[in-house]
């Protein structure tokens, strides 16, 4: 698999203007004057870009050179990309059994990300059960079933329009019977209205908590990197669903808008747990703020 630097090639190109500033030989103030616009054009967003400028103005010397400013920029980007993180990946080995609820708008990559997580955990020797709880889209259930067959993991699905919580209940029973390690639930992205959707998600969570007492429940918000700043707006509705543990940022390899990761983490206050960087089952990598920043900036 290509390295993260290569996977982020299009977003790296978007950051070229930022890098050029730090190679320009300009004085500190000239660099800072051009930096905010360069960051916004790289899809970092106005709010996060303003915070970065403030940090560099207050945290570097008046006569700071390119090396000091560059180091300060990387440090601030890493800080913004690390909100509220406990340093543990989803379904940490010491926390099994675990239930991961994939939530987010339709088209963001929930189903594919659920399958990639299943592949990842199975490769670690964990017993995985999938629940196809997006019963409002037959295609989503069939897609997850195809993945499950390919990965040789159990999957539970209901008929079109069935109660998603009932599907999760059946999956939880099988999970207990099989002494599973990780239950991954693919949920619907749109259930008539946002209020209905949030109620449905809360109902699924209650079923999991009741049927798997003591399990670590991790709702992960799946966001599509290709929509850039719109991902922040898209995500705000899902913040009404309490207890989100983190973000899966998908399709990062196919966009120049990967800089939106900074805005997403900073404005939503949620840690990014995983990056989707391709179509194959192993193209889901644990997110490291340091590695991400190093891949973007030389």
pLDDT at position 87 is 45
Domain ranges for the chain, please list them.
Answer: 4-80, 93-244
pLDDT at position 239 is 86
Query: How far apart (Å, rounded) are the C-alpha atoms in residues 33 and 27?
Result: 10
pTM: 0.92
| Residues 134-183 pLDDT 10s | 988 888 899 999 999 999 999 998 888 889 999 999 999 999 999 999 99
Which residues, 6+ apart, have CB-to-CB distance to 277 below 8 Å?
4, 7, 8, 252, 253, 283, 284, 285
Q: Which residue has the tokens 């069935």?
A: 162
Residues of the chain with pLDDT under 70: 1-2, 85-96, 191-193
Exposed/middle/buried for 130, CB within 10 Å: 0-12, 13-18, 19+?
buried
Query: How far apart (Å, rounded) are the C-alpha atoms in residues 158 and 58?
Result: 56
73-107: string of b/e by CB count within 10 Å (b at 16+)?
Answer: bbebbbebbbbeeeebbbbeeeeebbbbbbbbbee
Q: For domain 4-80, is the CATH number 3.40.50.720?
A: no
pLDDT at position 272 is 96
Query: How far apart (Å, rounded) are the C-alpha atoms in residues 234 and 230?
Result: 6
Q: Which CATH superfamily is domain 93-244 in?
A: P-loop containing nucleotide triphosphate hydrolases (3.40.50.300)
151-174: string of b/e by CB count within 10 Å (b at 16+)?
Answer: bebbbbbbeeeeebbebbbebbee
pLDDT at position 270 is 92
pLDDT at position 85 is 53
pLDDT at position 96 is 54
């Amino acid at each position: 698999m290509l390295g993260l630097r290569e996977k982020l090639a299009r977003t790296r190109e978007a950051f070229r203007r930022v890098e050029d500033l730090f190679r320009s030989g300009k004085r500190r103030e000239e660099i800072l004057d051009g930096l905010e616009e360069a960051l916004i054009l790289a899809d970092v967003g106005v709010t996060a870009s303003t915070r970065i400028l403030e940090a560099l103005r207050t945290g570097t010397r008046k006569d700071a050179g390119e090396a000091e400013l560059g180091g300060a920029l990387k440090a601030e980007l890493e800080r913004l990309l690390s909100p509220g993180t406990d340093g543990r990946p989803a379904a940490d080995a010491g926390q099994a059994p675990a239930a991961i609820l994939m939530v987010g708008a339709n088209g963001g990559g929930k189903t594919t990300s659920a399958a990639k997580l299943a592949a990842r955990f199975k490769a670690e020797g964990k017993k995985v059960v999938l629940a196809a709880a997006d019963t409002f889209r037959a295609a989503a259930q069939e897609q997850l079933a195809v993945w499950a067959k390919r990965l040789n993991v159990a999957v539970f699905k209901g008929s079109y329009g069935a109660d998603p919580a009932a599907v999760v209940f059946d999956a939880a029973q099988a999970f207990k019977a099989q002494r599973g390690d990780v239950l991954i639930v693919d949920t619907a992205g749109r259930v008539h209205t946002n209020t209905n959707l949030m109620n449905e998600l809360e109902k699924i969570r209650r079923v999991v908590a009741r049927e798997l007492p003591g399990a670590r429940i991790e709702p992960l918000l799946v966001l599509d990197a290709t929509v850039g700043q719109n991902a922040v707006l898209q995500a705000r509705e899902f913040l009404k669903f309490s207890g989100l543990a983190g973000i899966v940022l998908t399709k990062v390899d196919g966009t120049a808008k990967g800089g939106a990761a900074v805005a997403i983490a900073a404005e939503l206050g949620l840690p990014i747990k995983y990056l989707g960087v391709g179509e194959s089952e192993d193209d889901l990598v644990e997110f490291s703020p340091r590695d991400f920043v190093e891949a973007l900036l030389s």
